[in-house]
Chain A
Amino acid sequence: DIVMTQSPDSLAVSLGERATINCKSSRSVLYSSSSKNYLAWYQQKPGLPPKLLIYWAFTRDSGVPDRFSGSGSGTDFTLTIDSLQAEDVAVYFCQQYYSTPYTFGQGTRLEIK
């Protein structure tokens, strides 16, 4: 199984500042024939299901604000939230869907400083 490891486990950022969350996979999730990274990011707020933010490592899902961006390739990925808003307080998960079993990172809790 591909192991996904996020860092940090928790993060406190001031309103209006940038938050950066990292995700590392134990094997590359880049499919060479398509040049696509099979990596997604989700946001989960308390009491709610996860919400898909980004897939293919950097494609924002419909309706996701452009302050959310994804980057990286192969085994190392980053979710960046520019100009942090109060409503961005949540737990963020990365997930690889390159091979089954699809696996998630352990989550990063984002709070306001």
Chain B
Amino acid sequence: EVQLVESGGGLVQPGGSLRLSCAVSGFTFSNYWMSWVRQSPGKGLEWVANIKQDGTEKYYVDSLMGRFTISRDNTENSLYLQMNSLRAEDTAVYYCARDLGKWEPHQHWGQGTLVTVSS
């Protein structure tokens, strides 16, 4: 069974940093593109970033302005999102997702981890 479990969310002050993790099981992690997608409370969905199987290609939503970094460790079956210079508008549930492929949608999703940016 495909499983994705996010962790690392919590309350952080504006300007602070957090590192989200996504531990996967039930499939060969190194075979798949992976994404992070976020959802602000009561609002819609926003794709954040994705990463190629070997980590050599990464794409981000422009509005992040270089504050977030996606990475992966195929030996640990884990996906990461380093978030710096956090702002109130980054408050959201962050989901990791396994993509069908490059330029393909998100077939499997984790349950999400809540990030709250507030003083």
Contact = CB atoms under 8 A, between A and B. Distances in A.
Nearest to A102: B47
Interface string A50-62: 1110010000010
Contacts of A42: 45, 105-106
A101 B62 contact: yes
Interface in B62-108: 62, 95, 100, 103-107
A49 B110 contact: yes
B61 interface: yes
Nearest to A93: B45
Interface residues of A, number: 23
A15 B99 CA distance: 33
B54 to A, nearest CB: 18
Interface string A31-49: 0000000101010000011
Given A38-B103, A40-B105, A93-B45, A101 B95 contact: no
Interface in A86-100: 93, 95, 97-98, 100
Contact of A97 (B61, B103, B111): B103
A95 B59 contact: no
Given A49-B111, A93-B44, A101 B105 contact: no
Interface of B: 35, 37, 44-47, 50, 59-62, 95, 100, 103-107, 109-112
28 contacts: A1-B62, A42-B106, A48-B111, A49-B109, A50-B37, A50-B106, A50-B109, A51-B109, A52-B105, A52-B106, A52-B107, A55-B105, A61-B107, A95-B45, A95-B105, A97-B103, A97-B104, A100-B47, A100-B60, A101-B47, A101-B60, A102-B35, A102-B105, A104-B44, A104-B45, A104-B46, A105-B44, A106-B44
